[in-house]
Amino acid sequence: MGRVKNRNNNLKIFFHFVTYVTIYLVVFLQFCLRKLIEIYNMKRDILKINEELCNGCGQCVPNCHEGALQIIDGKVRLVSELMCDGLGACIGHCPEGAITIESREAKPYNETSVMKPQPQPHHDGDGCPGSRAMVIAKPIQTHNDMPTDQPSELRQWPVQMHLVNPNAPYFRGADLLLAADCVAFSMGDFHSKFLKGKSLAIACPKLDQGTDSYIEKLTAMIDIAEVNTITVMTMEVPCCGGLLQMVRTALSNASRKVPVKKMIVGINGKVLQEEWQ
């Protein structure tokens, strides 16, 4: 009888042990399941891109330090939720207001993914139009057809926006020509037809860093130097559009209002659009 009783006691202990282990295992598995659901379906801040507003200029791409943005098929895309921290550092660099922050279910930010080398976007076919390689056909000129040397109409130095002093005497009461860097190289008559009689400032809204200072300088040119007019010359590629946006922001910050002319130049050097704003 003693042996039977001991056996029954051992069975009870074993049964209780199995029961407790099973309960704890179920609880643990439920906890793991909840964590997996939270990880893969958590609600957090993440970028939202309005494709209708996006013009593919690509200004936001270098300003996303996590590398979560790339230009694909002429539009900026969020290539991975894991690489977007949701802080929105790129938002202020979109001239079209196409990037916003929304709260939705998304995979959590993963710093390990950010540290991995990312494939570079291909710009030769379906990338940023401003980086697309192309050949511009020109007629072959004989020696007799060569134009005579044209004098430079540049009447000041420096000209790059980071270097110019907005209070310089050559800006006071002047007609300001704000040109994208590439404009002068695409137009054979840039000096004689567009620069003559104007003060010049040049900038690249896509590649230049610290363009907030450009807005401050433009505001000073309007209010302090009291420029007479501003002509903004940009290339037809979307990434140039930020230059006009800088002028508009400066005008909204300034106490004076000045006439602004918008000019868009084709890659072939022809003026495609010219209008007062």
Task: Report the chain's mean pLDDT, rounded to a whole number.
Answer: 81
Res 125: pLDDT: 43
In the chain, which stretches have pLDDT less than 70?
1-11, 14, 16, 33-42, 110-148
Note the pTM of the prediction, 2 decimals: 0.58
Domains of the chain: 43-129 (3.30.70.20), 153-276 (3.40.50)
Per-residue confidence (pLDDT) for residue 10, from 0 to 100:
65
- The pLDDT of residue 186 is 92
pLDDT of residue 112: 61
Output the DSSP codes for 143-179: GGGPPPP------SS--BTTT--TT-GGGTT-EEEEE
Give the pLDDT confidence score for residue 227 in this predicted structure: 96
pLDDT for 124: 45
Q: Residue 126: its pLDDT value, please?
A: 45
